[in-house]
Amino acid sequence: MTDNTPGTQVPDKHLDVLEVLVENVSGDWAVTGSTGMALQGMDLDVNDLDIQSNGPAADRLAEFLRREGHVLETLRSVESKKMSSRLGSYELIGVKIEVIGDLQKKVDGSWGKTVDVTENLKNVRVESRSITVPVLRLEYEEQAYRKMGREERADAVRSFLSR
């Protein structure tokens, strides 16, 4: 049986990075994607670390990661057919980190309001590290994956929530 204790599905090096970020970067940010879902007990393969943030926190994250890690891609504005955001890629302690700031989604042909991370935030306690990590709620993740057309991942989240 899988151990669903928060943090047990996340590799140690990712927890090392999260410990550093929690201790050093303030503001409205949350772990999202597979790492955020694994922190909430889902059994998923975790590769990189995705962090969604409000504007000022994206700048603080980018500055900290530039100073303490390696810049893979500088924080910049990006836009696709369905989403607009500021996006940057970094590496810290051997873990690739994607910083996503000021995310907006296109709904019915118009850009929606910037996603406020604090509206969908959940704090997860990782006892093995004595840290509390901000993550995006699984209910929000399910909706986000559906809006992106990633039904398989959304269904996996729904199935986990239904247990």
Give the β-pairing of 70-79 and 83-92.
antiparallel
Residue 5 domain flag? no
Residue 43 domain flag? yes
Residue 100 domain flag? yes
The share of the chain scoring above pLDDT 90, in percent, equals: 71
Q: Does residue 87 register a pLDDT over 70?
A: yes
Can you tell me the distance from the alpha carbon of 158 to that of 139, in angstroms, rounded to the nearest whole number? 8
Structure tokens that stand for 12 in this block = 């140690």
For residue range 102-125, list pLDDT tens digits in order.
999 887 888 888 989 999 999 999
Residue 7 domain flag? no
Among 40, 43, 42, smallest CA distance to 30 is for: 40
CATH code for the domain in which residue 48 is found: 3.30.460.40
What is the domain count for the chain?
A: 1
Q: Does residue 7 register a pLDDT over 70?
A: no
Residues 113, 103 contacting (CB under 8 angstroms): no
20 vs 163, higher pLDDT: 20
For residue range 26-78, list pLDDT tens digits in order.
989 999 999 999 999 999 899 999 999 998 999 999 999 999 999 999 999 99
Among 13, 42, 14, 6, smallest CA distance to 161 is for: 42
Domain that holds residue 114: 12-161
Residue 4 domain flag? no
Residue 3 domain flag? no
Can you tell me the distance from the alpha carbon of 41 to that of 20, in angstroms, rounded to the nearest whole number? 21
Residue 34 domain flag? yes
- Whole-prediction pTM: 0.89
- Residue 134: which pLDDT band, with cuts at 50, 70 and 90? very high
